[in-house]
Amino acid sequence: MQQTKTASASQNRPRRRRQSLTAVLDIAVGLVLFVALWQAVYSARLWPPFLFPSPSSTLAEFATLIKTGVLQSAVAGTLERMVAGFALTLVIGVGLGILMVYFKRFGRVMSSFSLGLQSFPALAWVPFAVLTIGLSTASIIFVLVLSSVFSVMMSTYSGLRNVPPIYIKAARNMGTGNLALFGGVMLPAAMPSLIAGVRQAWSFAWHALIGAEMLMGAIGLGGILYAGSEFLKMNEVVVSMIVIFAIGIAADRLLFFRLEDSVRNKWGLSRLTS
């Protein structure tokens, strides 16, 4: 059995390398086409240069922001808030999802409310946060958590509820206790759904974080974006947009996509879509 698994893993490695190289090549080609289109639009002079900067002037502004340390401080501030807020999102979301499974009335109530709360615009929480908490990092994290926690909560709830009953019956027949049943059977079986929800929640949290930083004028990527728009520094606006996009893509592809892919491979779900 172990030899079979080892052989299967060895066969999958070349395929995964080819897929990774193909993905990198696709991204590189996409970037080249994007920059070429950007330069073409700039050369057409549809807008004045101060409203639509060229790739070269944007690159120069990028170098200036790095040289002065402004970009590094902004990225560090944004990522610190993201890490702290998203960790809190995971703890609260998974905890509430588990409680919803074991307390059925609470689960029904929360599943009904979550649909409305998920559709509630994240930035609509900003005035409430500012008035109740003040202009602080805590307010930004508050908005971040409320924009993403319900996605984690519902994915945990759905994943645990949809565990195949045969798994639970088999574990019960082998004398598995409640704690071991949850940690060794239910939670691993719910992991594909949970990881998908976490990946979606990351996207919601990232959008809310940048928007909250803009509205609150915080030191971060959102703050650079807001300051650039206020003082018509379009180079700064474009640089911050590119960095925001790059961090979002990197986090999704390098962390959450790989984590989801690993979980799907472990449970044999990748065969269904390959």
Per-residue pLDDT tens, the chain, 274 aa: give them. 444 445 444 555 666 676 667 767 777 888 889 889 988 998 988 888 888 899 999 999 999 999 999 999 999 999 999 999 999 999 999 999 999 988 888 888 888 888 777 778 888 889 999 999 988 899 999 999 999 999 999 999 988 888 877 877 787 777 777 777 777 778 777 887 888 888 889 999 999 999 999 988 888 999 999 988 888 889 999 999 999 999 988 888 778 777 777 776 766 555 444 4
CA–CA gap between residue 80 and residue 84 (Å, rounded): 6
Q: Which residue has the tokens 């999958």?
A: 12
The third-level CATH classification (topology) of the domain covering 53-273 is: MetI-like fold (1.10.3720)
What is the Cα–Cα distance from 232 to 219, expressed in whole angstroms?
A: 18
User: Rounded to whole angstroms, how far apart are CA atoms 208 and 82?
Assistant: 10
Look-up: residue for tokens 């908005």?
143
